[in-house]
């Protein structure tokens, strides 16, 4: 498996057409995964509500349910940001030979880096779940789930409409360059 830090090393040669197919495939994968992620977010909210409303003797069991729902959500996030990573690596290779793609890469650098950085953390979803809990053992809180904004290192992140709109804009920019080239 390719790690995030070394993602550009040893990339096999690909034709521009192959790279455009990679972009299209992973764009579709991420877009199609969006609704499932929203369902998993709802599962986390439900589990959190049950945990919050639980009696003291039930809280441990309910916390395990919250952690399970978070783990599932983060595995779905992992798939989504992996799609971003694959698009980013294809765009990187396209940008090496075409200034128009290099401009796209620069234009979307911030959002690409955010998604790729989150992917790095999601390689260990259980650690990501543990990192969400704040407070002492008696008064633990889960502010990320309450706000739908989760902590991955120093990055606050969620898969939301803003992320999806950025993905659409990135794909449209790449597709426009491809159309110009035909």
Q: Can you spell out the DSSP letters for 17-70?
A: HHHHHHHHHHHHHHHHHHHHHHHHHHHHHHHHHHHHHS-GGGHHHHHHHHHHHH
Maximum Cα–Cα distance for the chain, whole Å?
66
Greater model confidence, 145 or 111: 111
- The residue among 165, 152, 21 whose CA lies nearest residue 78 is 152
| This prediction's pTM | 0.92
Residue 10, pLDDT > 60, answer yes
CA distance 60 to 63: 5
**pLDDT computed for residue 24 by the predictor:** 98
Residue 116, pLDDT > 80, answer yes
What's the rounded mean pLDDT across residues 64-83? 97
Beta bridge partners of 134: 141
Q: Kindly state the helix (H) or strand (E) to which residue 75 belongs, with its residue range.
A: helix 59-95
Helices (H) and strands (E) in the chain, counts: 7, 2
**pLDDT computed for residue 138 by the predictor:** 64
**pLDDT computed for residue 179 by the predictor:** 93
Q: Kindly state the helix (H) or strand (E) to which residue 152 belongs, with its residue range.
A: strand 150-152
What percent of the chain clears pLDDT 70, i.e. is strictly above it?
93
What's the rounded mean pLDDT across residues 83-87? 97
**pLDDT computed for residue 3 by the predictor:** 61
Write the CB contacts of 44 (distance below 8 Å, at least 6 apart in sequence).
66, 69, 70, 73, 145
**pLDDT computed for residue 110 by the predictor:** 97
CA distance 7 to 2: 6
What's the rounded mean pLDDT across residues 136-156? 85
Rounded to a whole number of angstroms, the distance between the first and last alpha carbons of the chain is 34
Q: Is 119:76 a contact under the CB 8 Å cutoff?
A: no
Q: Round the average pLDDT of the chain to a whole number and report it.
A: 91
């Amino acid at each position: 498996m390719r790690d995030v830090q070394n993602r550009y090393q040893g990339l096999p040669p690909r034709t521009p057409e192959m790279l455009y197919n990679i972009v299209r495939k992973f764009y579709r994968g991420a877009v199609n995964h969006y609704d499932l992620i929203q369902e998993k977010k709802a599962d986390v909210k439900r589990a959190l509500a049950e945990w919050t409303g639980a009696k003291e003797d039930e809280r441990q069991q309910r916390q395990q349910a919250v952690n399970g729902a978070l783990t599932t959500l983060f595995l779905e996030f992992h798939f989504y940001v992996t799609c971003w990573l694959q698009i980013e690596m294809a765009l990187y290779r396209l940008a090496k030979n075409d200034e128009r793609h290099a401009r796209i890469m620069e234009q979307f650098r911030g959002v690409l880096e955010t998604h790729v950085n989150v992917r790095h953390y999601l390689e260990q979803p259980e650690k990501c779940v543990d990192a969400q809990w704040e407070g002492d053992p008696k008064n633990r809180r889960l502010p990320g789930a309450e706000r739908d904004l989760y902590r991955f290192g120093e990055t606050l992140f969620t898969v939301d409409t803003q992320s999806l709109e950025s993905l659409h804009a990135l794909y449209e920019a790449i597709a426009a360059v491809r159309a110009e080239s035909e």
